[in-house]
Amino acid sequence: MTVRTRYAPSPTGDPHVGNIRSAVFAWAMARANGGQFLLRIEDTDRARLVPGSMDAIFESLRWLGIDWDEGPDVGGPHAPYVQSERLHLYQAAASELIAKGRAYRCFCTAERLDAMRASQTAAKRPPGYDGLCRGIDAAESESRAKSEPFVVRFRMKDEGQTVLRDLVRGEIVFENALQDDFVALKSDGFPTYHLAVVVDDHEMEITHAIRGDEWVSSAPKHLQIFEALGYEPTLFAHLPLIVGVDRKKLSKRSGDTALLDYAKKGYLPDAMLNFLTLLGWSLDDKTTIISRETLLKSFTVERVVPNPAAFDLDRLNFLNGQYIKQLTDEQWEAVVREWAERDLPGHILRPLDEDLVRQVAPLLRDRVGTLSEVAPQIEFLFGGAAPEYPKELLSERLGGEHMEALRVVDAALLALDAVSPELWVKERIEAAIRGMEEPLGMKLRKFASVLYVAAMGRAAGIPLFDSLEILGRERSLDRLRRARGLLE
């Protein structure tokens, strides 16, 4: 059997991290088994459509480096891959279900259904369709359909049980008597998700439906539709719920935002992919760094755990740092250039000075958690102007003693002026600055922040001696003089 999996998002906004996790697992499952991975857009809920979502879906997958074999953009043997373009298939399936007695036209008005629900609530009975239209005979149904609006309801079995043999969750038994006759085709001819997902998974020869835990309760509906249409059901794997580190429902605050927000914040796609992989899957219970290659070779649905997975941003940051370390020098330099060009203020000319980027990139590698930290740390090197800062910052780490800061600046001017232009290298700069300790009667640790602020406009940053070397003698001395002017 060729494994065929799919990611079937609804275009209802930018895909969130939790939703994209389903794509990662389905894709890995297909790749690990030499199978195919499909992208299908489930846009039958017209009220929830958000323009632009389809592009955001493509962009999110591409950013993560997920590729698909069939889909709306690349086509394939089962095209089209957008559900709103496949309505005839669902309508044909609905007619077949009616003919087989497994579905019926329901002519109940919205007012009647509202009243029914209200009385169920008042009587503390579970809500659900009361079956009024179940008994309408075929001839009457046909003739009323000519003049009255109707939906097609699927007739769930009244007795027995529907058993889901989930590849992750194991066996789950549903009592048929508790299941409601649900709408399969709406009055406007659009299917509901339940009908469309079954028809398409069958038509597209999907072998494994891999999706979020929130769909477990829909599985008996899907299984009964498969059976009623005489289709072989797909295998199901419901992925564990994603929760915050506090074990509560994942919220925007605990990290549940659009995947592309993480791209914008400066996470590397490989780090994000690794992070998503660990939300419910593990290689061997101990390995944290799982490369793309390992994932695509080793993924098995058997190693997906059913219990909730914690969305731990500390882990994501850790992974990002690890993936930054793994880049080659050239790759890292390219990343630094990209993020600096993206984030540095507009008045700084692009393209950025190649040499400066090359010199500063190695200094940054251990000092950024996310790539959005690149530009603020190196801004002081680019563009002509000296950094702006409030003068209080110069003495902040000296307990606000302006005169102390002034002593430090004067000593630095003296020490660095003595380093000749041809010897302006970090070793000499370091020696000169360390030589200030004695006359000042102060440790470098204590006064370094004054020099950081003077040079960079911030009290800490990339290594001081390297920075002054890259900044150059003239600019370094100028900035010290400027600090002096502020303190005086």
How many angstroms separate the CA atoms of 237 and 109, rounded?
A: 37
Q: Decide: is 9 part of the binding site for ligand GLU (CB under 6 A).
A: yes
Q: Decide: is 8 part of the binding site for ligand GLU (CB under 6 A).
A: yes
How many angstroms separate the CA atoms of 277 and 274, rounded?
A: 5
Under DSSP, is residue 281 helix (H, G, I), strand (E, B) or coil? strand
Q: For residue 266, what are the CA distances in angstroms to 101, 371, 389, 402, 461?
A: 55, 4, 26, 38, 18
What 8-state DSSP symbol labels residue 258? B
| One-letter amino acid for residue 434 of the chain | R
Site stretch for ligand GLU (CB under 6 A), options 207-215, 229-237, 259-267, 371-379: 207-215
Min dist CB 257 to ligand GLU, Å, is 17
How many angstroms separate the CA atoms of 8 and 27, rounded?
A: 12
Q: Decide: is 168 part of the binding site for ligand GLU (CB under 6 A).
A: no
Output 211 or 479, the one with its CB closest to ligand GLU.
211
Output 22 or 467, the one with its CB closest to ligand GLU.
22
Output 48 or 134, the one with its CB closest to ligand GLU.
48
Instruction: Give the footprint of ligand GLU on residues 40-59 (CB under 6 A).
Output: 42
Among 23, 64, 133, 209, binds ligand GLU (CB under 6 A): 209
Output 31 or 397, the one with its CB closest to ligand GLU.
31
Find the residue with minimal CB distance to ligand GLU: 211
Min dist CB 197 to ligand GLU, Å, is 5
Q: List 191's β-bridge partners, or say none.
A: 185
Token pair of 159 as six digits:
């007795």
Q: Decide: is 190 part of the binding site for ligand GLU (CB under 6 A).
A: no
Output 18 or 321, the one with its CB closest to ligand GLU.
18
Q: Decide: is 185 part of the binding site for ligand GLU (CB under 6 A).
A: no
Q: Decide: is 10 part of the binding site for ligand GLU (CB under 6 A).
A: yes
Among 90, 215, 323, 465, binds ligand GLU (CB under 6 A): 215
Give every CB contact of residue 331 below 8 A, 6+ residues apart in sequence. Answer: none
Q: For residue 364, what are the CA distances in angstroms to 321, 328, 358, 370?
A: 11, 14, 11, 11
Q: Decide: is 304 part of the binding site for ligand GLU (CB under 6 A).
A: no
Output 197 or 357, the one with its CB closest to ligand GLU.
197
How many angstroms separate the CA atoms of 219 and 210, rounded?
A: 12
Q: List 163's β-bridge partners, or say none.
A: 173
Min dist CB 453 to ligand GLU, Å, is 51
Q: List 170's β-bridge partners, or say none.
A: 166
Min dist CB 51 to ligand GLU, Å, is 17
Site stretch for ligand GLU (CB under 6 A), options 8-16, 244-252, 336-344, 480-488: 8-16
Q: List 281's β-bridge partners, or say none.
A: 304
Q: Are 81 and 38 in contact (CB under 8 A)?
A: yes
Output 239 or 433, the one with its CB closest to ligand GLU.
239
Among 211, 221, 397, 407, binds ligand GLU (CB under 6 A): 211
Min dist CB 208 to ligand GLU, Å, is 11
Candidates 146, 252, 297, 446; catalytic one: 252
Site stretch for ligand GLU (CB under 6 A), options 4-12, 48-56, 147-155, 328-336: 4-12
Give every CB contact of residue 217 below 8 A, 6+ residues apart in sequence. Answer: none
Output 9 or 71, the one with its CB closest to ligand GLU.
9
| Size of the residue set binding ligand GLU (CB under 6 A) | 8
Site stretch for ligand GLU (CB under 6 A), options 7-15, 100-108, 351-359, 456-464: 7-15
Among 20, 133, 151, 197, binds ligand GLU (CB under 6 A): 197
Min dist CB 46 to ligand GLU, Å, is 14
Give every CB contact of residue 357 below 8 A, 6+ residues apart in sequence. Answer: 333, 336, 337, 340
Min dist CB 132 to ligand GLU, Å, is 30
Give every CB contact of residue 323 below 8 A, 6+ residues apart in sequence. Answer: 268, 270, 271, 274
What 8-state DSSP symbol labels residue 283? S
Site stretch for ligand GLU (CB under 6 A), options 5-13, 163-171, 319-327, 352-360: 5-13
Min dist CB 211 to ligand GLU, Å, is 3
Helix (H) or strand (E) holding 154: strand 151-154
Is 252 an active-site residue?
yes
How many angstroms separate the CA atoms of 384 and 7, rounded?
A: 50
- Which sign, positive or negative, has the C-alpha torsion 370, 376, 378, 379? positive
Dihedral of CA atoms 330, 335, 338, 343 in degrees, nearest 10, equals -140
Site stretch for ligand GLU (CB under 6 A), options 27-35, 208-216, 238-246, 422-430: 208-216
DSSP-H helix ranges across 398-443: 402-417, 426-434, 437-440
Q: List 258's β-bridge partners, or say none.
A: 16
Min dist CB 78 to ligand GLU, Å, is 16
Interface contacts to ligand GLU, rule CB under 6 A: 8-10, 42, 197, 209, 211, 215
Active site residues: 252
